[in-house]
Structure formats: C-alpha cells, structure tokens
C-alpha cells in the first residue's frame, strides 16, 4: 500500500507540472494516514485471509469497496485537519481509481509470480520422479465455459503440457482461448505428428452422450488416452470440480440421454409411508433403498436373504443417516425369504407396511436355465406370496420389478418373470372387481450397468488380467441403463400407476456387445489383438450363444403401446388371464414344482406364457392354451 500511494502522489505532482509542488508537500502528511487507514480496512475486512494464488475476478472486485472506504476515511481525516491547503475535490475520485487499479494490478502480478514459482518447483519435482517423467503434450476438446475454466486451472500444473484446443464450431477456428489456438478437429493428425500429442482432455460436459461416444471412439482409435471432466450435474451439485479429470468410463457413454425427474412423481408413492423392499441387497433393491430414503418415507423395511448384502446395505444407510441433518429415518433390516408368506405377513402387520417394491428374483439366464425348477420356485412363488400378503395386510401399492426378457421369452428366467407379470395383472383385475385392494403395477426394463449380471464388470475384470474378452455372438445386442436412472424411473412410474399397468422404460438405442468390448479395450489404453493386428494386447473370443440367450432383447409384445405423463415411460398393452382362469394353470405348475420335474416344467410354462419359445431344454409340441383377456388399460 505505501508504494501505491507514493506512486499516486508522484503522478499528481507530475500532472501539476513539477515533482514536488507546494500543494503536494503541504498534504504529504496524509500519506501515512492513507497507509494506516488502508491497512486497517483491508485487515479488518479479511482481505488478507484469501490465498493470493487463487485470486480471481470476484476477490479482485472485492478491493473496490474496501479502497473506497479507505479513501472516504482519508477524506474525513483531511476535512478535520483544520485550516490549510487541502487537495481539490476532483482529486479524491481519481485517487480512489488509481489506488484501486494499482492494488488490483499488484495483486494479479503477485498471483501470477507465485503460480509461476510453484509451477517451476512442481515441474522440477515431477521430472525428478520415477522414470524422469516429462509433461505430456495435451489437447483440450471443447472451448466453452468448462474448457476455459479448466485451462485457467491447468495453466500452472506440471502434469500437462497444453498445446491447443479443438472445437467443432468453424467460427472459432483460429481464435485463441487462454492463450491457446483453437483448431479444427480435422487438424488432429497434424497436431499429433507436430507436437507428439498423447492425450485429450474432454471438456464438453453438456454434449449429448452419443456425441461423446463418437468422439471417444475416434480419439481412442488414434491411440490417444482420453480424460474427461465431471458431468454438469456433479459440478453444479458441488460433488466434484472441473479439474477432477478422470479416464472416461464406459458407463458415461452407454445408455441414452437422461431426463430431469418429476419430483412430485418421485415422492407420490413413498413420501410419509412405510415401504418394504424385497431383495433389498441386490443391485436394484439397494438403489431403491437409497433413493426412497431421500424421499422422506416414514420407515423402510429391508427384506434380504443374503446376510452379506444386507450387512453392507445397512452400514451404507447408517452412514447416510449420520450425514443427514433431517430427523433420522427408521429402517429395519430383516434376514428372510420372500417365499415365506407367513413371515412376510407378520413383518407387514408388525411394521404397518403400506407400499411394497418386489425386487427379489433370480435373474441370471444361464444359471436359471440350468436349474429351471429352482428359478421358477423363487420367482413365481415369491411374487405369489408377496401379492397374497399385499391383499391380506391391506397394502396401498405393490410394484413388481420385471425384465425385458419377459417379452417373447426364450429362456426359463424370462418365462418365469412373465408368469410374475400375469400374477400382478390378475391381482389388479381382482382389485377392480372387488372395488378395493392394493394398486398393483409392474415396471419392465433391460440391462443395468454395474449390476451383478452386467457384462461391463465382467469385461473390466478380463481386461485387468490381460484378456481375452469373451462375447457370445458378433451380432448380440443389449439395452443399457444406469442403475440410479432405472430406479428413478421405477419410482416415477409407480406414482402414475392406477392398477394393472405394464410400464416400459425407454432404454435408448441397443448397443452391440462386440462394439462395447472393443471400446472398453481402447478406453483401458490397450489395443485389440486380431488377424489384422496380431501384436495387439487383448483378444476377443466368441463362445456362442448360451442356453436360452437371444441375439436381441425386446421390451414390448405389442406395437400399440401408449405414452404416459413422463416422456421416458410408456405403457404396454399386454393380454392376460382372468383370475379364475389363471388359478388352475398355476395349480398345475405348483404340482410340477413340488415334484421338481424339469422335463414337465417347460410344457407347464408354455401353457401360461403363450409366446414362450425355448431355445433349449426338452422338445415340446404345441400346447393348448385357454382364452386370454384383452390388454388392460
């Protein structure tokens, strides 16, 4: 501050035509007051508590009111000093502007010098590290706000040698961002050859998912490693900052564009209610617990057969409860089997359960295909028991978590889940006929990323050990969705249910598993080993379709599905059996299961599921089926 004030005084002296005019010398005593008052204002206001190397426009603008206050105090001191020659009134505004400018300029210079000094020391340390690593020549893809912020933060980091910026907009080509030239993506090959580019920082958090997938494909095919900034949602929520770069995960590229949830629909079914989740420790069940927890239910009843899964879930919910400032949520962890209807009824009665999400099921196609009776007993008997309890205990709602494999099933698992859907549809018809009972609905969706049966963790483990990656068939495709998004849509669909609906989630475009395998290999920094590239790192082997596996999954059996109030949730028009027709068919299925007869199970399932066309198992002829009711509305 003394230097700035002296410079300002000298400036005005020179402006008056001489270095030391009488007017300046007569007010020289104000210099010490200026220094003292300014230091007092800056110290008391906390200006010096901020870190110089992180000074930005907001902190620098904060100097203006502080310097104004110091000048006003100096004017007061000058006015109270008694008779004598005082500076002209026009002096004070100019004095404030020049003092503020000099303070801001000095702060910027000190900030940049400090950053430069830290960068030099960091670079020296980085070069002396293991292997004497050098800074990697790097390009940034994108020139928006996120890219500008990223460049400003990385400018003085030792890890990256920033070479330039790429952007798709021709208007920006040739212009500069944070001192770096913006290039056309067509120049990427030239930049790689000229600068030895090794990696790309993807700074396009708002770009559509399909565009990011295209870019990652193109960049990894050139042998570049790709790092990405967090999503806008995580940055806006304060969960991550723009400089938290990480390798692009395959989960960021799969699925379709997300949609902002409807808060009213999310809360409609669960807020203020006692909610039971069967299969609470599974992939979908545990995420249901997490998301329902955030919607302020009265309490949660967690039913799970696996002790380890329930233990992990309970610990996670306890940690969430400790972080939550709202009144603590009551939840009950129960080790039990959903097939035990007596135990289930006792739990619902004792805890006053109002809503049940039935997520407990066997879902691994190949295992259920090898153990058909076990799979059908667990899935069908569990759903039947849960529905029975929902009626006997007077629940408000019952929601079945179904699967796309129930559509024109070719395996026992899919057929068993279609039988579960028929049970729910018949229960809904029973509610309509009686005029009371739980609102029963079901939600059907495809593969979710990160579940125990997902191909993604399987590929990730194979890549970690050097491969090979096994794919059943070159043309096999699957739909993909993240677990949180799927559960979010499940909750919203339950809020729209009026009884008997088969809700179908929009899964986006199907993904070819072979393309997924190739992309994951490239994202890991490895190369594909095939006939054209025998020196590659990881090979892909084809094993053939497994028993009961289809090339393509389907979500609808009818083309006349209907839209709902949510753009990503549709309602399938499914035919079903009346309760009086379904019961004798189920009784025959129960007899087969009691005898544990795998051979007779397939014909029994085909009676119930008309579209079931098994790809394996015993050969069966055409099985007569009773008449079915039109699709429910």
pLDDT at residue 317 is higher than 70:
yes
Render pLDDT for 428-460 as a digit per residue (tens, 0 to 9).
998 888 888 899 999 998 777 766 667 777 888
Render pLDDT for 216-257 as a digit per residue (tens, 0 to 9).
888 888 888 888 876 555 555 545 555 567 777 776 676 666
Cα–Cα distance measured from residue 377 to residue 359, given in angstroms and rounded to the nearest whole number: 15
Q: Return the CATH architecture of domain 266-451+480-508+553-608.
A: 3-Layer(aba) Sandwich (3.40)
Cα–Cα distance measured from residue 457 to residue 448, given in angstroms and rounded to the nearest whole number: 11
- Annotate 60-99 with DSSP letters as a single string: HHTHHHHHHHHHHHHHHHHHTT-SS----TTHHHHHHHHH
Cα–Cα distance measured from residue 480 to residue 249, given in angstroms and rounded to the nearest whole number: 14
Q: Which two tokens stand for residue 601?
A: 């199970």
Domain regions of the chain by residue span: 2-125, 135-248, 266-451+480-508+553-608
158-172, 188-202, 332-346: segment of lowest average pLDDT: 158-172
Within this chain, domains 135-248 and 266-451+480-508+553-608 share the same CATH topology: yes
Provide the H-helix boundaries in 503-620. Answer: 513-523, 579-594, 598-608
Secondary element (H or E) of residue 572: strand 569-572
For residues 115 and 51, the answer to whether their CB atoms sit within 8 Å is no
CA angle 523, 527, 530 (to 5 degrees): 130
Q: pLDDT category, 324, cuts 50, 70, 90?
A: low
Q: Which two tokens stand for residue 217?
A: 């494909």
Among 176, 149, 354, 369, CA closest to 270:
354
Provide the H-helix boundaries in 55-197. Answer: 57-61, 63-79, 91-127, 145-154, 188-195
Cα–Cα distance measured from residue 495 to residue 462, given in angstroms and rounded to the nearest whole number: 41
Q: pLDDT category, 18, cuts 50, 70, 90?
A: low
CB proximity list for 524: less than 8 A, separation 6 or greater: 463
% of the chain exceeding 90 in pLDDT: 24
* Residues annotated as catalytic (active site), given as ranges: 405
Q: Which two tokens stand for residue 495?
A: 């809020």
Which residues pair with residue 255 across a beta bridge?
A: none
Render pLDDT for 254-291 as a digit per residue (tens, 0 to 9).
666 667 888 889 899 999 999 999 999 998 999 999 99
Q: Which pLDDT score is estimated for 176?
A: 84
Q: Return the CATH architecture of domain 135-248.
A: 3-Layer(aba) Sandwich (3.40)
255-267 exposure pattern, b = at least 16 Cβ within 10 A, e = fewer: bbeeeebbeebbb
Cα–Cα distance measured from residue 380 to residue 360, given in angstroms and rounded to the nearest whole number: 11
Is 43 or 528 the better-scoring residue by pLDDT?
528
Among 320, 353, 321, CA closest to 334:
353
* Lookup result for tokens 């206050």: 69
Render pLDDT for 606-630 as a digit per residue (tens, 0 to 9).
999 988 988 654 433 333 444 444 4
């Amino acid at each position: 501050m003394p230097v700035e004030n002296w410079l300002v005084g000298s400036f005005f002296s020179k402006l008056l035509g001489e270095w030391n005019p009488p007017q300046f010398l007569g007010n020289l005593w104000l210099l010490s007051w200026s220094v003292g008052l300014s230091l007092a204002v800056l110290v008391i206001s906390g200006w010096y508590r901020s870190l110089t190397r992180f000074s930005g426009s907001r902190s620098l603008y904060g100097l203006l009111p502080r310097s104004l206050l110091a000048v006003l105090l100096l004017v007061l001191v000058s006015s109270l000093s008694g008779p004598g020659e005082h500076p002209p009134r026009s002096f004070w505004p100019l004095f404030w502007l020049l003092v503020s400018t000099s303070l801001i300029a000095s702060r910027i210079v000190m900030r940049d010098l400090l950053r430069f000094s830290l960068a030099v020391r960091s670079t020296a340390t980085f070069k002396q590290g293991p292997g004497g690593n050098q800074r990697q020549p790097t390009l940034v893809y994108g020139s928006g706000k996120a890219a500008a912020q990223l460049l400003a933060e990385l400018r003085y980091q030792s890890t990256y040698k920033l070479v330039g910026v790429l952007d798709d907009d021709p208007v920006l080509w040739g212009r500069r961002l944070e001192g770096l030239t913006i290039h056309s993506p067509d120049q990427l090959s030239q930049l790689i050859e000229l600068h030895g580019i090794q990696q790309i920082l993807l700074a396009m958090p708002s770009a559509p998912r399909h565009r990011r997938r295209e870019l990652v494909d193109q960049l990894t095919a050139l042998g570049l490693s790709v790092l990405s900034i967090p999503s806008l949602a995580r940055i806006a929520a304060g969960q991550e900052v723009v400089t938290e770069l990480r390798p692009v995960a395959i989960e960021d590229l799969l699925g379709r564009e997300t949609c902002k949830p409807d808060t009213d629909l999310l809360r409609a079914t669960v807020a203020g209610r006692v909610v039971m989740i069967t299969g609470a420790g599974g992939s979908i069940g545990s995420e249901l617990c997490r998301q329902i927890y955030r919607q302020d239910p009265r309490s949660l009843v967690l039913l799970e057969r696996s002790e380890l899964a329930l233990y992990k879930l309970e610990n996670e919910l306890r940690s969430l409860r400790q972080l939550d400032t709202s009144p603590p949520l009551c939840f009950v962890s129960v080790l039990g089997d959903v097939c035990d209807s007596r135990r289930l009824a006792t739990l619902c009665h004792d805890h006053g359960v109002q809503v049940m999400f039935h997520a407990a099921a066997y879902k691994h196609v190949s295992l259920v295909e090898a153990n058909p009776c076990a799979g059908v007993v667990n899935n069908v008997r569990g759903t039947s028991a849960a529905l029975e309890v929902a009626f006997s205990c007077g629940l408000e709602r019952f929601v079945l978590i179904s699967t796309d494999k129930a559509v024109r099933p070719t395996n026992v698992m899919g057929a068993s889940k279609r039988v579960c859907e028929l049970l729910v549809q018949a229960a809904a018809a029973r509610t309509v006929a009686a005029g009371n009972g739980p609102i029963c609905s079901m939600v059907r969706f495809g593969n979710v990323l990160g579940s125990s049966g997902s191909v993604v963790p399987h590929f990730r483990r194979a890549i970690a050990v050097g491969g090979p990656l096994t794919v059943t068939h070159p043309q096999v495709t699957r739909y993909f969705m993240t677990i949180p998004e799927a559960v979010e849509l499940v909750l919203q669909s339950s809020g729209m249910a009026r009884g008997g609906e088969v809700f179908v989630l929009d899964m986006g475009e199907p993904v070819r598993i072979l393309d997924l395998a190739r992309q994951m290999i490239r994202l890991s920094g490895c190369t594909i080993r095939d006939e054209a590239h025998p020196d590659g790192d990881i090979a892909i082997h084809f094993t053939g379709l497994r028993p009961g596996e289809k090339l393509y999954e389907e979500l609808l059996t009818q083309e006349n599905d209907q839209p709902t109030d949510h753009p990503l949730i549709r309602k399938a028009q499914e035919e079903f059996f009346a309760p009086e027709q379904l019961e004798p068919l189920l009784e025959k299925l129960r007899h087969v299961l009691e005898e544990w007869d795998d051979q007779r199970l397939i014909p029994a399932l085909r009676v119930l599921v008309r579209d079931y066309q098994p790809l394996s198992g015993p050969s069966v002829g055409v099985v007569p089926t009773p008449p079915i009711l039109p699709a429910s509305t």
